[in-house]
Structures are given as structure tokens and as C-alpha cells.
Amino acid sequence: SEAADLLGLMHYMEGMRLITALELVAPTPDENVTVTDTEFNNVPVRLYLPRRAPGGLRRAMVYFHGGGWCLGDARMKASDHISRRISNELNAVVVSVNYRLAPQHRFPVPFEDTYSVTKFFLQSKVLSQYGVDPARVCVAGDSAGGNLAAAVAQQLLEDPEVKTKLKAQILLYPALQALDLDLPSYRDNGNKPILPKSLMVRFWSEYFTSDPALREAMASNRHVPAESGHLFQFVNWSRLLPAEMRRAHVYSGPAFGDARLARDHPGFLDPRASPLLASDARLRRLPPAYILTCEHDVLRDDGAMYAERLRTAGVPVTHHHAKDAFHGAMMFVLWPLELAVGQRLLSTYMDWLKENL
């Protein structure tokens, strides 16, 4: 991907996307679940409906896949497998959203697509059509999808047209802020596989712009202007992280950057892209959360800080921290990429859903 990008043959993310294409599977029904590719509000979704008799109203999940807002697909083998399993074991309707991707569709388009689908699905007539209990609907997502799930949950609070309240928000190793990219987790895991710091910086910057100046500023953590310095209170890891995650790292406070970057690309200061920037008053109204973080992950501290802020705001939080796991570990549940840690994380997650959704 890097070579093709440098040679001008294709964009870096388009090269990366070729890997995704190899993983796509058709919407194949099985004895337990009907699977169809359709559209909700003109956004493509993969819809999973349990075959067995409901025995009352069903639970439901609106799911957003990961991939740094640039990669990934609801039709990928691991996503399809997990959605089927949730639909079957929980007798739940699962709506897995194929939102448009950057760099062709930058912020706020992925957010708007996921919000549009969620708002459409939460209409009482749509819930009724699929036999869904309006009191048992959640949003969920992994990585960039966790970012979108958190942002959608927040935005629903401000929408007077939405009467249905979410039962839960599920954030699996989520990316939740683009202000401080020098957290202890970025320092500890900057060169570890699956998601090194350089790739996460690339994902964040591509979400907003192709301007390499933003990427370079983010890489050196000098992209937030001084006039936005007050926002760092919401991501101050010296206060929000537990001691075992802070370790011997020293918090030095922000180094400010060129105001032009934030003026030209204001998205990275927007709570719809960085849900950790939401006020305490807004967080207080959110539904209960399940947050998974992994020790060997640059995004570890985003999830941990959000868990702390939600708890402080009085929101019930289950924070599952996997000390032996890495970013994306739950997707490693199918041969030839099946790992015991992936199966264990998925099993724990399923148990929580059964009890709390």
C-alpha cells in the first residue's frame, strides 16, 4: 500500500482495502438466522433475523464495524460470524451498517450514515415491523465502530424526534479522542502489531483531510491550537487513568500547534469525532456501557478514560480490561486466524449481552 501510494498508483487506503475484499462473504442464511443485504434510509446494511419463534419481543443491536473509518466492511467473515452468533444466541435482530468510508467520504459522513441508520431503526413502526422490544436496543462497535457507537449514543440524546432510549452502548477497544496522541498506551504500544501508532495517526488524519500537514502535526502531538486548550481537561490521563496504566509515565501537558489546522479541519475537535470531549452534563444522560480495552493497544487509554468519565457521571459501566490482548483481538475467532484470546473475549462479551440487553 505504501509503495503504491508513493508511486501515485493508488491511495494508501485503497491498497489496504484490497485486503478487506478478500474477506467478504455472501449474505448466506443458515438454519438459525436469515441474512440479507438491504438498505435502511439509503445506507447499506446487513440484516440478521433469528428464524426461531420469538416468544415475545426481541432484543436488537445496531452494529458499526471497525477499520479506522477507512477500511472494513459489515460483510467481512469475522463480523458476519459474530453478528450471526449474537442474532442466534440472543434471539436478537442485528443491523450491521456498511457506512461510507474515508478518504472518499470524510468526517462527518461515516458518523452521519451510522446515525441515520440508527435513527431510522429506532422508529416505533420499524421496531414493530421486526418484532423488537423498544426497551432492549443497543448500539455497538469495535475500534472506529466503537467511536461511532459512542458518538451516535451521545447525539441521540439531543434529537427530539427520537423517542426510543437505548438500553446500552457497547464499545470494543474504541478510538474516542484525537486530541492527545501521546497517551501512555501510545507510548507503550506504538510499534506493536495490528495497530501501530503510525497507522492510527494515519487513520485519524485521513478521517478529516488528505492534507499531510495534519498527519505530521498529529504524529508529533502538536495539532491542537492554544485556544482549544481547555478541552484537554476531558482527556487528562494523569487524572483519568488508573495507576497501573499510568505506570512511570509523566504527564507534561499539551504542546499547542498551528491554529490554521483546526480552522481548516475542525472535525478533530468535534465530539461527534472525539466523544471524550462531551461535557459531564451530556455523559450523565447516557445508557449503561460495556467497554472492552486491551493492554497491548494504542487505544487502551481512550476506553479506560471514557469508562472513568462515565462512572464519575453516574453511568453504570462494565469495563473489561484484557491484560493479555491486543487491538482487534475479538475478531480472531475463525480458522485460520482463530486464537484462544479471541474466543474468550467473545464469550465474555456474549455473557454480558445475555444478562444486560
pLDDT in tens, 195-244: 999 999 999 999 999 999 999 999 999 999 999 999 999 999 999 999 99
Average pLDDT over residues 242-267: 95
- Active-site entry in 65, 265, 296, 327: 327
Residue 253, number of CB atoms within 10 A of its CB = 10
Q: What is the CATH number of domain 2-356?
A: 3.40.50.1820
Kindly state the DSSP code that residue 229 receives in the 8-state scheme.
G
What is the enclosing helix (H) or strand (E) of 274? none
Whether 258 is catalytic = no
Contacting residues for 32 by C-beta, under 8 A, at least 6 apart: 50, 51, 52, 84, 87, 88
- Active-site entry in 79, 143, 185, 274: 143
Whether 264 is catalytic = no
Whether 319 is catalytic = no
Dihedral angle, C-alpha 157, 159, 165, 170, nearest 10 °: -60
- Active-site entry in 80, 113, 188, 297: 297
CA angle 331, 332, 336 (to 5 degrees): 135
pLDDT digit string (tens) for 302-330?
999 999 999 999 999 999 999 999 999 99
CA distances 330 to 35, 129, 276, Å, are: 22, 31, 23
pLDDT of residue 4: 58
Average pLDDT over residues 100-109: 96
Q: Please, which pLDDT band fits residue 7 given cuts at 50, 70 and 90? A: low
Average pLDDT over residues 122-131: 98
Q: Please, which pLDDT band fits residue 193 given cuts at 50, 70 and 90? A: confident
- Over 90: is that where the pLDDT of 9 sits? no
Average pLDDT over residues 21-38: 95
